Amino acid sequence: MSGEIEQRLAALGVTLPQAAAPAANYVPFVRTGSQLFISGQIPMGPNGIEHKGKLGADYGVEQGQVAARLCAINLLAQAKAALGDLDKVVRLVKLVGFVNCTPDFGDQPKVVNGASDFMVEALGEKGRHARSAVGVAALPFGVAVEVEAIFEVS
């Protein structure tokens, strides 16, 4: 039987993908003590990279939120790869969201809400977290959003 978090994901209609391999010289996660640091995840879907573009030019806030949600799904896939069981997550400590945007775009927090809202849906109270939402001039592969996470784990 799957754990509580996997049951929540199933209720949301979410199947975690296979954790993506790193695209450069880094590891996808590092566990040290009771903390799990997960490298930035991009909106990688079943058919490869999705949501390429710039907020404020190619994408609106709602499309950016969909991209951020997909990043969050990939964060949980990495957490499962690291821990074997998502119920070892004590809490999500922090998310950092990077939004590929035009200089005049100011809705980065609304975009990253796509990831934050999903984490609370998936993890319940364990998913409430500290956060930064940062606008950047470009992201790897031209994606619209990248999100990284720090979890407390048992």
pLDDT at residue number 23: 84
Q: Average pLDDT in the 101-113 region?
A: 98
How much is the pTM?
A: 0.97
The pair of structure tokens assigned to 26 is: 């880094």
pLDDT at residue number 2: 75
Q: What CATH number was assigned to the domain covering residues 30-43+52-153?
A: 3.30.1330.40
State the sign of the Cα–Cα–Cα–Cα dihedral 35, 39, 44, 46: negative
- Residue 116, number of CB atoms within 10 A of its CB: 23
Q: 89-100 and 44-45 as β-strands: parallel, antiparallel, unpaired? A: unpaired
Q: Average pLDDT in the 95-114 region?
A: 98
The chain-wide mean pLDDT, for the chain, equals 97
Q: 149 to each of 47, 54, 83, how far by Cα in Å?
A: 24, 22, 14
Q: Structural domain boundaries of the chain?
A: 30-43+52-153
